[in-house]
Amino acid sequence: NAGSAAMEEGEGLLSVDYEVFGKVQGVFFRKYTQGEAKRLGLVGWVQNTSHGTVQGQIQGPAARVRELQDWLRKIGSPQSRISRADFSNEKEITALEHKDFQILK
């Protein structure tokens, strides 16, 4: 598939915002998300919201961002129950805007 091959070559950087719904607070979701992001070499942040969801931003190589998106959609932390994950504001960036992956209070 020529389209995906082109993406691989440039391995462009992506930035995407996310919000995860379900039983995702009080289950170490933020800690596991941070761990997974670091394992994949991604930067960004994660925080709990006042309405019971977890939200944040991911930045890094497109293929790795896709991996974390899958993880947020299907896996999460061991005790979590994910009903859905929404992604928005996806865009290509020329440089990372975060130094690492932080848990925000």
Is 89 in the active site?
Answer: no
d(CA 7, CA 105): 35
30, 64, 66, 81: the active-site residue:
30
1, 39, 48, 81: the active-site residue:
48
Is 48 in the active site?
Answer: yes
> Which residues have a catalytic role annotated?
30, 48
